[in-house]
Amino acid sequence: MTELRGPVRVVGTGLIGTSIGLALTRLGVVVELIDADPDSALMAERIGAGSRLVQLAPQLVVVAVPPDHVGEVIAEQLRQTDAIVTDAASVKGKPLADAKALTDKAADDLARYVGSHPMAGSERNGPLAGRADLFDGATWAITPHPTSDPEAVELVRRLAEACGARTVELSVADHDLAVARVSHLPQLMSSLAAGTLVDAPSAHLDLSGQGVRDVTRIAASDPGLWTQIVSANSPALSGLLEQIRDELDRLLIALGKEEAADEVTAVLRRGVSGAVRVPGKHGSPHIELVSVLVTIPDRPGQLARLFADAAASGANVEDLRIDHSPGRPVGEVELAVKPASVDQLVRVLTERGWSVHR
């Protein structure tokens, strides 16, 4: 069995690299921290993610630099060390191709590389956003290429498990198509939708509800990082974007005619079929939850009172959403619970004076 003994060298002490360092240090693994920006490595060291000076040669190198530079740093680390090398980039095809192009003089080297993608993140960046528990229960994709050494694959799996993640093994191509679908395409659709609001009069924006807020939330993400991700995954993304463009073309033709209904219905129905496949809590689309709406006054302590009352009913709140429509003096909280809990929840909340709607 391949054991993760360390030292582990982390190259790139941003959110992901620092969080990996914190998780491994917590387990007693020696972590070496390297960053092109000395201040970043220093900060990561100060918060306990590892050390900038480690004498022993690394057993494993984790490359957690910005997407554009991943391939060259992988190649560099394969050249400089005898360690197994992985990376944490959210696209896997391009880093592999880049690393391959740079290591062709010693093709054997590439056997020591296995790509991986810890699927956790935050809207915060930099070492100070790092957290030992960032990957607790998160999905960590491992993407061996045909010449990856099985021992290298095993060591990367150990790394993911040491960080508390659940691993999924996928081919490089499959991974990139999957993230194009469930991450990169939604990002672009959100950005395109939000883009139409740039020139809108304020009076139009005053009519915004929860729907446009949800659809455009991730459009506020960092354009620099996302340009690198989208560009790196353009082969997988292009196919999906073409599919959307063709559907838009059909929709536009239909809307120009007297009878648009069929085409519009087709797009909307397809959307329903896709939406219900997105896993909810616990990764299962099969756990059915029931929603209860509660009107709450916009004052401190009301949410505390509501959740205390919900807990008193014995219900576990599986999901929740607060609706804060512009200008409303009251808010509305949607609590999702298992069907078995709903009657008791509604009874207890109503008894305690809440305005409850199912």
Of residues 306 through 325, those in contact with its own copies by CB under 8 A are 306-308, 310-311, 314-322, 324-325
Residue from 100, 190, 292, 346 that binds its own copies (CB under 8 A)?
A: 190
275 binds its own copies, rule: CB under 8 A: yes
**CA-based nearest residue to 140, from 113, 121, 112, 126:** 121
- Looking at residue 183, the DSSP 8-state letter turns out to be I
**String marking each residue 195-234 x if it binds its own copies according to CB under 8 A:** xxxx-xx-xxxxxxx-xxxxxxxxxxx-xx-xx--xx--x
Residue from 104, 108, 298, 351 that binds its own copies (CB under 8 A)?
A: 298
- Type of residue found at 137: G
344 binds its own copies, rule: CB under 8 A: no
Angstrom distance (rounded) from CA 188 to CA 183: 9
| Binders in 10-69 for its own copies, by CB under 8 A | none
Instruction: Return the number of the residue (42 or 129) whose C-beta is nearest its own copies.
Output: 129
- Looking at residue 322, the DSSP 8-state letter turns out to be E
Smallest gap from Cβ 221 to its own copies, in A, equals 8
Residue from 29, 185, 294, 342 that binds its own copies (CB under 8 A)?
A: 185
Token pair recorded at residue 150: 């099985």
Smallest gap from Cβ 271 to its own copies, in A, equals 3
97 binds its own copies, rule: CB under 8 A: no
173 binds its own copies, rule: CB under 8 A: no
Terminal CA-CA length for the chain: 53
340 binds its own copies, rule: CB under 8 A: no
343-351 long-range Cβ contacts below 8 angstroms, 24+ apart: 344/313, 344/314, 344/315, 345/292, 345/310, 345/313, 345/315, 346/292, 347/313, 348/309, 348/310, 348/312, 348/313, 349/292, 349/294, 349/306, 349/309, 349/310, 349/313
